[in-house]
Every structure is written in C-alpha cells, then in structure tokens.
Amino acid sequence: MTELRSSDLRHRLTLEELSRVADEGGGFSETWVTVATLSADLQPISGSETVEADRLAGTVTHEVVLRYRAGVVPAMRFRKGARIFLIIAVIDVEERRRWLKCWCEEREL
C-alpha cells in the first residue's frame, strides 16, 4: 500500500455500532450509537444496478482507509452526513496496526 499522508484523510466519518435497548414490553428497539468521529480517505470502487421488488436499485462500494483502531468490525457502519456506509470487511493493512482498510457498501436510509 502506498503510504498515506495526513492530508489524504480529508473526510470526517462517524463510526457507529448497533445498540439494542430493552423496552417495557419485553422486546427491544435498535438504534445506532456513535463510537467515534474519524478522519479517513473515502474512495468509490465500483457501482452496479439491479432490479429489486420491481424497482431499479443501485449499489456503490467504497474503500475507507483510516488510522488503525482496534474493535472496528463488519457489524458497524460509517456515516457522512446523510450517507451510510455499511462495513463489509475490515483489513489490517500489512498486519502492522498502522492502517485499516474497510470495504463498504453505501446504502440509502
């Protein structure tokens, strides 16, 4: 991997995780909770279109590179304003704990 500079981490992303809160009826509600606000490099990788439920649906994949942070897992997501990026895979680049590369899929709310 080409060495990144601080200026390459120009996107402010919010890392979120799913939290379940018990309700009075014995069930639970799910909400996304902020874990951290991070600087990252955000690059689109590919896009595709499919037909889902008789409508055209688009999918865009992105690569998010950030400084190493323990605990980032595919059950989390990134948010940039109203844009949501579901984490598909997390890679410790060169296994040196310097950079994380996350492959993400952008979804509409």
pLDDT at residue 54, rounded to an integer: 73
Residue 44 resides in a domain:
yes
Residue 69 belongs to domain spanning: 6-107
Report the pLDDT averaged over residues 70-89: 96
Number of structural domains in the chain: 1
How many H helices and E strands in the chain? 0, 6
Encode pLDDT of 61-73 as tens digits: 999 999 999 999 9
Q: Domain containing 73 — which CATH number?
A: 2.40.10.270
Residue 17's DSSP bridge partners are: 33
Answer yes or no: are the C-beta atoms of 64 and 99 closer than 8 Å.
Answer: no
Residue 1 resides in a domain:
no
Encode pLDDT of 27-43 as tens digits: 888 999 999 999 999 99
pLDDT at residue 21, rounded to an integer: 86
Residue 87 resides in a domain:
yes
Which residue is listed with tokens 């979804």? 107
Answer yes or no: are the C-beta atoms of 49 and 58 closer than 8 Å.
Answer: yes
- Residue 72's CB: how many other CB atoms inside 10 A? 21
- pTM for this one? 0.81
Average pLDDT, the chain: 88
Instruction: Report residue 105 as tokens.
Output: 């899929």
